[in-house]
Amino acid sequence: MTFTSDSASTRFSGAFNYSTSDAISSTIAVFKALSVDDQLAVLWYAYTEMGRSITPAATGAARLQLAEGLLNQIKQMSHAEQLEVMRDLAAQRNSAVSRSYGILSVNTKLAFWYELSELMVKGFVIPVPAGYQLSRDGSQVLETLKELDFGQQITVLRKVVSDMGVDPLAD
């Protein structure tokens, strides 16, 4: 049996009907079950739709200068290479960029994705393609994320971005 995010709908159909604490872990679980492209799209929509409220908390605490070199590297790539890098991060593929990302702090990772979304809006990094359709589960994750309070949104986003990339220091 092939597992896709849409086939997971049945499996996760009740995932969002729990208490607030369970909603956080359920949202994270369903997010992780999404396709890599849907994960990237959810991050894009979350940051562009909610980014103004989400990111100030992370950016102030983050050492974004540690990620600036990585962001500049990505800006210099072709759009196809940029998309592949983002997919590598989300899929935890072992690459130079994934390893560089892997050593960043959680708050810096959160700010990294915010800055990446800003670069996408400005046209320096490939945006989500026009007309891209999120899967049913991707749309549900995004809607649930919007319904969470600010602290819960940050908790979900911190967890999903912290698990991306590859920690070069891990065994």
Share of the chain above pLDDT 90, in %: 54
pLDDT tens string 101-110 = 999 998 889 8
Residue spans of alpha helices (H) in 96-148: 96-102, 106-121, 136-147
Q: How many CB atoms lie within 10 A of CB 169?
A: 8
Section 34-54 average pLDDT: 84
What is residue 6's predicted lDDT score, i.e. its pLDDT?
Answer: 43
Higher pLDDT, 32 or 12: 32
What is residue 160's predicted lDDT score, i.e. its pLDDT?
Answer: 96
Nearest to 103 by CA among 30, 170, 28, 10: 170
Distances, alpha carbon 17 to alpha carbons 140, 141, 149, in Å: 12, 12, 16
What is residue 7's predicted lDDT score, i.e. its pLDDT?
Answer: 41
Residue 82's Cβ-side half-sphere holds a number of Cα atoms within 13 Å equal to 19
Given a cut of 60, whether residue 15 has pLDDT beyond it is: no
Measure the CA–CA gap between 114 and 120, rounded to whole angstroms: 10
pLDDT tens string 113-148 = 988 988 999 999 998 888 889 999 999 999 999 899
Q: What is the pTM of this model?
A: 0.81
Q: What's the gap between Cα 50 and its chain centre?
A: 13
What is residue 49's predicted lDDT score, i.e. its pLDDT?
Answer: 77
What is residue 109's predicted lDDT score, i.e. its pLDDT?
Answer: 92
Given a cut of 80, whether residue 57 has pLDDT beyond it is: no
